[in-house]
Amino acid sequence: MVYKKGIKKDKKLSIKKGKKTVQTLRGMKDVLAKDWFYYDLILNNAKKIFEFYNFQRIETPILEKAELFEKGVGEKTDVIEKEMYILKAKENKELLALRPEGTASIVRSYIEKGMFNLTQPVKFYYFGPFFRHEKPQAGRYRQFYQLGAEMIGGGDVVADAEIILLSKLFLENLGFSKKNIFLLINSIGCPNCRPLYIKELKKYYKKLDKQICSDCRRRIKENPLRVLDCKNEKCSLVKQGAPPILDYLCPECRDHFKALLELLDYLNIPYILDKTLVRGLDYYTKTVFEFCLENETGRISLGGGGRYDELTETIGGIKKPAVGVAFGVERLMQEMVRQGKKFKPTVPKVFLVQIGEAAQKMSFKILEQFRKEKILLGENLGKENLKSQLKIADRLGVKYVLILGQQEVLDGMIILKDMNSGLQELIPWEKIVSEVKKRLKN
């Protein structure tokens, strides 16, 4: 067992200079105990909130057919065109993708399992790793975790409001203060009204062709709405002057958006209208939103989502309106650390020292007795001598040490040493757990 607190390495080992070692890929990291502390906190918080509102947990495969995301997310999005990891199966040369996002797979599962026959909407939440070959930087990885929620089969504006409300509660329960986080919101219309807007957008960008980046020059031809996603400084001024999509919504989209804003007002959820918010995935219709936070490094997008009323049809032929959200777990974790939420490793208060082969074997039984009573017992069964084991116990700062030697095994006893007073007592095995429990209580 390895405990973080107070443990020093016995001997510092280092890798020989010049020797090549295999390392993690760029933008990917091992999730260690200190990370799981935050990941568990985030997942448990989501469970409490989303399960109360009848969201069921779902985990879809990490590997899916590449066409699922090409069709679902859109071939001309950065996520698919530039960032998706594609693998070719050796046997049948099928193109597979490491999932770059969660929604398309959940919609695939909803259709495949016939969940449209259940009472609608069907609500899901998920937590797992996703993959995008992006340029690694602070808060941007090539493998990252997302915590997301989806409601499929609900076209009413209450579904949008429920997802936004639960997202806000989820962030507040994690300790993000209302003052720090803010909600950006926009509507990007539907296939009926968007073409008219796209026409206007193209007209506007055509005049400013020389002032935008080469990517945007391509985007305006291939997938015009994506120019509003561009993070290039050169393009931001142009973007700000672009016609607002809200002016081009059809009556249905306008009514939906108006009703949503009224509901948010009623629920006391403040928002900022952001006319350039379109989000990077093609499946969105009507509502799009993003939860952000401002700190000394700038604006951070903690998570976002929106409505995707066409996606079930794009993937499987059954039209079911839907809405969802996804949060970046590492982003949340980074901010929790910044705000002072500390990882505290669990350190045992009791340590078991064993000397000799018989005691070493017997230790497994003693450890099980303590585990069943939920008392953490430190050990290092690989060490043989008393001194080195006492040294570990000392570094951990335990209150009691149990010592099991050859003689104690023969007598069915164990030594209980109080590390403060130095006093030692002989206790029968069957009483040791209750004795330790009693003393820890005091």
Contact between 330 and ligand AMP per CB under 6 A? yes
Q: With contact defined as beta carbons under 8 Å apart, do 113 and 80 qualify? A: no
Q: Which residue's CB is nearer to ligand AMP, number 103 or number 312?
A: 103
DSSP strands (E only) in 308-372? 322-328, 350-354
One character per residue 363-402, x = contact with ligand AMP (rule: CB under 6 A): ----------------------------------------
Position with the least CB separation from ligand AMP: 328
CA 138, distance to chain mean position in Å, is: 15
DSSP letter (8 states) at residue 140: B
Residue 305 CB, shortest distance to ligand AMP, in Å, is: 7
Residue 304 CB, shortest distance to ligand AMP, in Å, is: 5
Residue 290 CB, shortest distance to ligand AMP, in Å, is: 7
Q: With contact defined as beta carbons under 8 Å apart, do 129 and 39 qualify? A: no
Q: With contact defined as beta carbons under 8 Å apart, do 126 and 102 qualify? A: yes
Selected from 109, 120, 232, 301, the binder of ligand AMP by CB under 6 A is 301
For 404, the 3-state DSSP assignment is strand
Q: With contact defined as beta carbons under 8 Å apart, do 147 and 43 qualify? A: yes
Contact between 176 and ligand AMP per CB under 6 A? no
Residue with tokens 């003393």: 439
> In 57-114, which ranges are continuous DSSP H helix?
66-73, 78, 103-112
Of 253, 251, 339, 240, the closest CA to residue 288 belongs to 253
Rounded CA-CA distance 79/100 in Å is 7
Rounded CA-CA distance 335/338 in Å is 5
Residue with tokens 């930087």: 137
Strand partners for 181 = 293
Of 151, 99, 163, 164, the closest CA to residue 128 belongs to 99
Nearest 5 degrees, angle CA 282-CA 283-CA 289?
90
Residue 326 CB, shortest distance to ligand AMP, in Å, is: 4
Q: Which residue's CB is nearer to ligand AMP, number 297 or number 424?
A: 297
Selected from 238, 331, 377, 392, the binder of ligand AMP by CB under 6 A is 331
Rounded CA-CA distance 439/437 in Å is 6
Q: With contact defined as beta carbons under 8 Å apart, do 29 and 333 qualify? A: no
Residue 40 CB, shortest distance to ligand AMP, in Å, is: 18
Selected from 99, 108, 123, 132, the binder of ligand AMP by CB under 6 A is 132
Rounded CA-CA distance 243/419 in Å is 73
Contact between 326 and ligand AMP per CB under 6 A? yes
Rounded CA-CA distance 417/425 in Å is 7
Residue 157 CB, shortest distance to ligand AMP, in Å, is: 21
Site stretch for ligand AMP (CB under 6 A), options 2-10, 167-175, 230-238, 302-310: 302-310
Selected from 227, 302, 398, 436, the binder of ligand AMP by CB under 6 A is 302
Residue 33 CB, shortest distance to ligand AMP, in Å, is: 21
Residue 330 CB, shortest distance to ligand AMP, in Å, is: 5
| Interface with ligand AMP in residues 90-109 (CB under 6 A) | 101
Selected from 45, 77, 105, 146, the binder of ligand AMP by CB under 6 A is 146
Site stretch for ligand AMP (CB under 6 A), options 140-148, 243-251, 354-362, 396-404: 140-148
Selected from 141, 170, 176, 289, the binder of ligand AMP by CB under 6 A is 141
Residue 368 CB, shortest distance to ligand AMP, in Å, is: 41
For 222, the 3-state DSSP assignment is helix
Selected from 35, 67, 81, 134, the binder of ligand AMP by CB under 6 A is 134
Rounded CA-CA distance 360/365 in Å is 10
Site stretch for ligand AMP (CB under 6 A), options 234-242, 252-260, 296-304, 408-416: 296-304
Rounded CA-CA distance 218/236 in Å is 16
Q: Which residue's CB is nearer to ligand AMP, number 331 or number 417?
A: 331
DSSP strands (E only) in 315-362? 322-328, 350-354
One character per residue 254-293, x = contact with ligand AMP (rule: CB under 6 A): -------------------------xx-------------
How many chain residues bind ligand AMP (CB under 6 A)? Answer: 19
Q: Which residue's CB is nearer to ligand AMP, number 108 or number 132?
A: 132
Binding site for ligand AMP (CB under 6 A): 101, 132, 134, 139-141, 144, 146, 279-280, 301-304, 326-328, 330-331
